Structure 1
C-alpha cells in the first residue's frame, strides 16, 4: 500500500529530529515543573491578591460579562501568531537559537503556574477549572509551539552549517520557503486552538463555576 506523501514527510521529519523533540519536550516539562514550584514560593499576601483577582474574573464569567467571543478569538490568535512569528525570525537570525529555547521554557512556566495556582488555591475544583479553561486550547497550542521550536532550532543549525561547513552548503531560498510553509501550517492549527479558547472554554468554565457555586 502506497504511503501518502504528507505522512512520509512527517515520518521522515520526526525520525530525523527525534532527539531534538525529546530535548524540547523535556525543556518544556521543566518549565511546567518550575511554574508549579513558583506557586509554592509565593507568600500568603501574594496568593491572596492573585486569588482575589481570580474570583473577580470567575464572577464575570458566571454573569457572562466577558469580552465577545470574536474579540477573544482575535486576541488569542494574534498573540499566539506573534509568538511563533518571533520563533520564525529568531530561527533565521541564527543568534536567536537560545532565545527560542527560552520562549518554550517560559511557555511551560505559564502553563505550570496557571494550573498549579488553581489547584493550590481551589483543590479539585481548581483542577476542574484548569481542565476546561487551560487544557482544550493547549492540547493544540503546546504541540504547535514544540514543533515550531524544533523547526526553528533545526533551521538555525542548518544555517550555521551552511556558513561554516562549505561541503554541506545548500541553496538558502528553498530552505526559507520550506521554513515559512511550516510556519503557515502551524498558524492554521493555532486558528483551531483560538476558536476553542474563544467559543468552547468560556462555556464550560461558566458551567463549572455555576456547579462549584451551587
Structure 2
C-alpha cells in the first residue's frame, strides 16, 4: 500500500514538476519580499510591533492558554486559503490569483521571521525555529500542494477549451480534484493541531531564555 502511495506521489510530482517549480519560486519571492520589507519599516511601526510582541510574551507567560481557540482560528485561516485556492482552480483566470495567494503566504512568513531575527538576533532565530517552524512543516507544504493541484486543474480546463481533441470527463475530474484536495486538508489539520497544542509548549520553553 505504501509503495503504491509513493508511486502515485512521485508520478504526481513528475507530472507537475514545472508547476511545483513556479509555485515554490513565487513562495520564495514572497518570503524575500517580507524579509526586505522589515528593513523598510519606520521606527514608529517597529515600535508598535515591538509593543505587540511584548504583550504577546506576557500572554504567553500566563498559565492559562486557550488552545482550542488557537486551533479554531488556525483552521479558519488556513481553510479559507485552501478553499479559496480550490475555487480558483475551477476558473480559467484563477492561476495568477493562486500565485498571488502563495506570494502573500510567503510574505507573511518572511516578514514575521525577518522581524523576529532583526529585533532579537539569535534568540529570534531560535524562537522562529520552535514557534513558527513546527506547524508550517505541515501547513506550508499543504498550501503549496493545493496550489499546484488547483493550477494543474485550471490548466486542464484551459486545454479542453482551446483544443477540441482534448476530451475529458469534467465531472469525474472535478470529483477527483476535490477528493485529493480534501485529503491534503488533513495535512493542514495536523499543522493546526501542532500550532494549537505543541507550539505553545515550545514557545514557553524558548521564551524563558529570551
Q: Is this a same-fold pair by TM over 0.5?
A: yes
Work out the CA distance in 2 between the residues paired with 1:149 and 1:167: 27
Query: What residue number does 2:205 align with?
Result: 207
Normalised TM-score (structure 2): 0.96
Residue 51 (structure 1) aligned with residue 46 (structure 2): no
2:145 to 123, 144, 147: 147
Query: What residue number does 1:71 align with?
Result: 69
Normalised TM-score (structure 1): 0.94
Question: Do 1:161 and 1:169's aligned partners in 2 also have CA atoms closer than 8 Å?
Answer: no
Cα RMSD for the two superposed structures: 1.3
Query: What residue number does 2:30 align with?
Result: 31
Instruction: Summarize deviations over 1:16-64 as a string: whole Å, max 9, x none.
Output: 1111111111110111000000000001111011011111111110123
Work out the CA distance in 1 between the residues paired with 2:170 and 2:58: 53
1:162 to 160, 163, 166: 160
Instruction: Summarize deviations over 1:120-158 as a string: whole Å, max 9, x none.
Output: 111011111111111000011111111111110010010
Query: What residue number does 2:18 align with?
Result: 19
Question: Do 1:87 and 1:149's aligned partners in 2 also have CA atoms closer than 8 Å?
Answer: yes
Work out the CA distance in 2 between the residues paired with 1:159 and 1:192: 31
Quote how far apart the aligned CAs of 1:3 are: 7.8
1:160 partner SS: helix
Larger mean Cα displacement after TM superposition, 4-13 or 17-26: 4-13
Quote how far apart the aligned CAs of 1:65 are: 4.7
| Deviant stretches of 4+, over 3 Å | none
Query: What residue number does 1:8 align with?
Result: 7
1:94 partner SS: coil
Query: What residue number does 1:81 align with?
Result: 79
